[in-house]
Structure 1
Amino acid sequence: MTAAPPPITEPDPSALICPGDKAGPCTDCQRKTHRYGTGGSPLCQWCMEPVKASWGSNVRHVSTRP
């Protein structure tokens, strides 16, 4: 069982290590997260967990860079 997420007033840990201009609100809960640029995601780590679980084990990242 996973721990409950902290209050929404606390930022996602990714927001604490990214430049301020790359941080933005999670599209689901509005928590501050690393949203823009390399490594960014529109969802915080707590909102991303159930989404990733629904993908299954056969989803893989494919780079579009040469």
Structure 2
Amino acid sequence: MTTPPPLSEPDPSALICPGDRVGLCAGCQRKTHRYGSGGSPLCQWCMEPVQEKWGAGVRYISTRG
């Protein structure tokens, strides 16, 4: 597991997505690409232990139609 930077630093995904798709990580409240295609409720550092537990196939699927 990699050591995350300070919470004031955004997830790298937030730097490359449109501003309207940026939101706060559900785990640590770091800015991340949360909304729209490719978004996730967790930043890469919060998602890492989840993927270790559940496998690389775990991903967020929106329940909105």
| TM-score of the aligned structures, taking structure 1 as reference length | 0.81
Distance change in 2, residues 1:46/1:60 (3 Å): closer
Q: Name structure 1 gaps, 5 residues minimum.
A: 62-66
Name the SS for the 2:32 alignment partner: strand
Is 1:29 the counterpart of 2:28 in the alignment? yes
**Aligned mates of 1:50, 1:15 — CA distance in 2:** 20
Task: Tell which structure's C-alpha radius of gyration is larger.
Answer: 1
| TM-score of the aligned structures, taking structure 2 as reference length | 0.82
Name the SS for the 1:41 alignment partner: coil
What root-mean-square deviation, in Å, do the aligned CA atoms of Structure 1 and Structure 2 show? 1.8
Q: How many residues align?
A: 59
Q: Name structure 2 gaps, 5 residues minimum.
A: 60-65
- 1:1-66 equivalence runs, <5 A: 2-56=1-55, 59=57
Task: Provide Cα deviations, 1:29-49, integer angstroms capped at 9, x if missing partner.
Answer: 000000000000000000000
